[in-house]
Amino acid sequence: MVDGYYKIVREIISELGYEYLKNAKGSHEKWQSRETGKTLLVPRNLQSRHTANAILRDAGSPKKL
């Protein structure tokens, strides 16, 4: 069974300076950048590589999965 991309995305955005704020609606979490104040929504059941790459791109990461 596929574990998904949540743990990988969480680690990468944490390294970029994002910190967990709170749970959002459904199975999503809000993360916010300490430097820019930008907010990201990250689903805990992240199964799509394309969605994971879009979140990383929005966060400003050059990495792709």
Question: What are 11-65's pLDDT values in tens digits?
Answer: 999 999 999 999 999 999 999 999 999 999 999 999 999 999 999 999 999 999 9
Q: Would you place residue 2 in the very low, low, confident or very high pLDDT band (cuts 50, 70, 90)?
A: low
Q: Cβ contacts of residue 2 below 8 Å, gap of 6+?
A: 47
Sketch out the chain's domains with CATH numbers.
5-59 (3.30.920.30)
What is residue 3's predicted lDDT score, i.e. its pLDDT?
Answer: 75
> Residue 14 is inside which H or E element, if any?
helix 6-15
Residue that has been written with the tokens 């791109």 in this structure? 57
